[in-house]
Amino acid sequence: MRIAIYGAGGFGKEVACLITRINAQQQQWELIGFFDDGKPAGSLVSRYGKVLGGMETLLQVDEPLAVAIAISDNKAVRRLRKAITNPNVTFPNLIDPTLFMVDPVTVVMGEGNIIQNDCMISCDVSLGDFNLINDHVVVGHDNRIGSFNDIMPGAHLSGGVTVGNNNMLGVACVVLQGITIGDGVTLGANSVLMTQPRNNKTYLGVPARRFNF
């Protein structure tokens, strides 16, 4: 099936690499190029293709097209998803072949999720839509993860963790077992979250404490 990437920056190139790795296992995708509102049509994106246009071009696509939104800003991803009203566009889950699932039968997910290399997902886990799970992330048993979350490289979520929507969990952070994270929380790099955070707040440190900018 034909696929395009929305976002022609560094993360867009990483998602192109992910598609290449998926195809190396089993040919699934024909990458036709990129959409981006900040770069002119025809701009070359490394060796992976050219910018096809922006939102206006995508809304005019008249045949089936899968699109991966490759922007590591969950608020921007939410806005883009709302703006893409073309019924010909679908949003597949892109999962690196190196993902290890302890029990794939009990892992469920929505659409538009991107899971990068060398991650582990345990049993009885649910994922919503448009989550970015970056490389070397561990998702423990009985996790419930909502939608539009950015989980950065090396993050570890212990068992029984609940994550709402629009959260950013930083590089190499740790969330201890049974913690519930609501919405809009930012957890800093290398932080260890031991208590339930408040919505739309930033937490840093070991143990993680609320930080006011």
Over residues 4-13, the pLDDT tens digits come to 999 999 999 9
Structure confidence at residue 137 (pLDDT): 98
Structure confidence at residue 139 (pLDDT): 98
Q: Do strands 156-157 and 168-169 pair parallel, antiparallel, or not at all (unpaired)?
A: unpaired
> Mind listing the pLDDT tens digit for each residue in 117-129?
999 999 999 999 9
Model confidence at 52, pLDDT cuts 50, 70, 90, reads very high
Domains contained in the chain, CATH given:
2-92 (3.40.50.20), 95-205 (2.160.10.10)
The two most distant CA atoms of the chain are separated, in Å, by 52
213 pLDDT higher than 80:
no
The mean pLDDT of 79-101, rounded to a whole number, is 98
Instruction: Give the pair of three-digit tokens for residue 1.
Output: 């099936």
Structure confidence at residue 212 (pLDDT): 86
> Mind listing the pLDDT tens digit for each residue in 182-207?
999 999 999 999 999 999 999 999 99
Residue 202 parent element (H or E): strand 202-204
- pTM for this structure? 0.96
> Mind listing the pLDDT tens digit for each residue in 139-154?
999 999 999 999 999 9
How much of the chain is in helix, strand and coil states, percent to nearest 5?
15, 30, 55
